[in-house]
Each structure stands twice: as structure tokens, then as C-alpha cells.
């Protein structure tokens, strides 16, 4: 089945920090020339579509806001607009409020936990207490760490784990490795699942999400996961590639 759409992870797949993964921009430009749609599906919740597009344009990638789907978008689109308490950064709150949600730190329907560089004990205490009182626990994503250059930083999953342990409740996760965010992306593309490939650098999130959503996957060895990690992974990618040249050869052979 010919490929009509590619779902790209961002961190570790298109860029590492502020640096482009070699060949990413050229690859996306060639896709567009060949009539293949690109969407950028990120577990990060703290950057707006406008900011991400500006970043991508720096690599020569044409980008509109609808080309970006973050876990803030996924939460707003998946959940019914209602009251919420959130641990997160500005873009999460802006996205929820723009989509008809209302902030409530006393008796909300949802507690939404995401990446927050100002996370503290008071926020943890509030989230745990609200979940105990009956609020539904939502996680944007479970990423344990973020790879930045040659460093590893704690990710959303570290915060989610604290709330989960404190509350004794497992969250509903809207981001990868669950399929919810990919289902939203495929619907936005308007193509058949058999015509979509998801590409990412993380065996714990990108690849399982693609498998759960029923689409083919590519593990690109530019970020978090390495080739030797595949043997121990419960979900294997359809393909493993070293770089975008090798990925391009796969697309050429299919189409």
C-alpha cells in the first residue's frame, strides 16, 4: 500500500535540542514534493504549535499550526471540555482554556499531569488530594527522560510517577505509547491507516503507539533507543534505519 502520510516524532527524530537531526529537513521537503503529508506528533506539551513551527522552519520545513499535534492538543481533543486542575506549563493551560475547559483547583473533573519545570510538593499534594476525592487522573505522556545533547533530563513520566504513587491511581495517558494521539493525527490526515508510517527514536513510546494504532513504524537511530535495545523490546518496529537516507529508500521501494 502506497504511503500518503508520515507521523514524525520531534525530539530525537527531527532535532536534538536546537540542532537538526542530519537530513530531516531535506527528507520532509522531498515528501511534500511527492505529495506525502507530514504531521509532527510530540509528547511534549509545553511548546505551542507556533513555536514548534518556527523551530522547524529553521530547517527549511514548511509548517502550519495544524501540522503539529502535541499532548496538550491530544488532551484537549480527547477529553470532554470540563473543569480541570493541571500540573504543567503555559501551553497546556492555554490549550485547555482555548478549547472550553475551566481551571478549578478545588473540585475538578480532571487532574491533568504533564511536564513542569516548576513542579513542587504543593502541586503534588494538590493533585493527589483531588484524585483521592474522585477527579479523573490524566497523563499527557510517560516519558521518563529527555535527551538533550549529551545529557539526560527528567521527563513528564517522573512527575506522573510521583502522582501515581501518591494517589495509588494509574492515569489515562493521551500521548505515546498509547494510541490516542496517533488516532487524532490519522483522523486529521484523512488517510487510511495502511497508508501511514510513524517514525520515532524511542522504543518505549513511538513504536508501541504506532503498533497500538495499527500503523507501520520506523525506529530511527538518532536519539534515545539503540539497535541493541530492540531485542529486549516487547514491540518491534517494522523497520530500523540509521538515518533519513535509509528511510527514504524504504519509502521509494513502497511507492
Count the Cβ atoms, other than its own, within 10 Å of residue 131: 23
Question: In the chain, which ranges are continuous DSSP H helix?
Answer: 24-33, 49-57, 71-78, 90-98, 121-132, 156-167, 180-189, 206-212, 244-254
Asked about 104 being catalytic, the answer comes back as no
Count the Cβ atoms, other than its own, within 10 Å of residue 121: 8
Region 79-173: CATH code: 3.40.50.1000
For residues 158-180, average pLDDT: 97
Higher pLDDT, 150 or 72: 72
Which of 11, 143, 183, 201 is flagged as catalytic? 11
**All structural domains of the chain with their residue ranges:** 5-72+176-254, 79-173
Q: Whole-angstrom Cα distance, residue 58 to residue 20?
A: 9
For residues 92-118, average pLDDT: 98
pLDDT given at position 148: 64
5-72+176-254 and 79-173, same CATH topology: yes
pLDDT by residue (tens digit) across 231-240?
989 899 999 9
Counting runs of H as helices and runs of E as strands, what totals does the chain give? Answer: 9, 15
Which of 9, 67, 73, 143 is flagged as catalytic? 9
Region 5-72+176-254: CATH code: 3.40.50.1000
Residue 10 has pLDDT above 80, yes or no: yes
Higher pLDDT, 12 or 128: 128
Q: Quick one: pLDDT band at residue 151, thresholds 50, 70, 90? A: confident
* List of residues 6+ apart from 247 with CB closer than 8 A: 27, 199, 218, 220, 239, 241
Q: pTM of the predicted model, to two decimals?
A: 0.92
pLDDT given at position 144: 84
- Percent of the chain past pLDDT 90, that is, above it, reads 88
The answer to whether the bond into 6 is cis (omega within 30° of 0) is no
Amino acid at each position: 500500500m502506497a504511503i500518503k502520510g508520515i507521523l514524525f516524532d520531534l525530539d530525537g527524530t527531527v532535532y536534538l535540542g536546537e540542532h537538526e537531526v542530519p537530513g530531516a529537513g531535506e527528507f520532509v521537503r522531498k515528501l511534500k514534493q511527492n505529495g506525502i503529508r507530514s504531521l509532527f506528533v510530540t509528547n511534549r506539551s509545553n511548546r505551542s504549535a507556533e513555536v514548534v513551527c518556527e523551530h522547524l522552519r529553521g530547517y527549511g520545513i514548511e509548517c502550519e499550526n495544524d501540522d503539529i499535534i502535541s499532548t496538550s492538543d491530544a488532551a484537549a481533543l480527547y477529553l470532554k471540555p470540563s473543569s480541570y486542575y493541571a500540573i504543567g506549563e503555559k501551553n497546556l493551560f492555554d490549550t485547555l482554556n482555548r478549547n472550553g475547559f475551566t481551571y478549578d483547583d478545588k473540585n475538578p473533573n480532571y487532574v491533568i499531569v504533564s511536564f513542569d519545570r516548576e513542579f513542587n510538593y504543593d502541586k503534588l499534594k494538590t493533585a493527589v488530594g483531588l484524585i483521592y476525592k474522585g477527579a479523573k487522573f490524566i497523563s499527557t505522556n510517560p516519558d521518563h527522560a529527555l535527551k538533550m545533547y549529551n545529557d539526560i533530563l527528567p521527563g513528564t513520566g517522573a512527575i506522573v510517577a510521583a502522582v501515581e504513587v501518591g494517589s495509588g491511581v494509574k492515569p489515562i495517558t493521551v500521548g505515546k505509547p498509547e494510541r490516542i494521539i496517533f488516532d487524532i493525527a490519522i483522523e486529521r490526515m484523512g488517510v487510511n491507516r495502511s497508508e501511514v508510517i510513524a517514525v520515532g527514536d524511542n522504543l518505549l513510546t513511538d513504536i508501541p503507539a504506532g503498533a497500538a494504532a495499527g500503523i507501520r513504524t520506523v525506529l530511527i537511530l538518532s536519539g534515545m533507543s539503540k539497535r541493541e535495545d530492540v531485542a529486549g523490546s516487547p514491540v518491534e518496529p517494522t523497520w530500523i534505519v540509521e538515518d533519513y537516507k535509509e528511510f527514504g529508500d524504504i519509502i521509494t521501494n513502497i511507492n
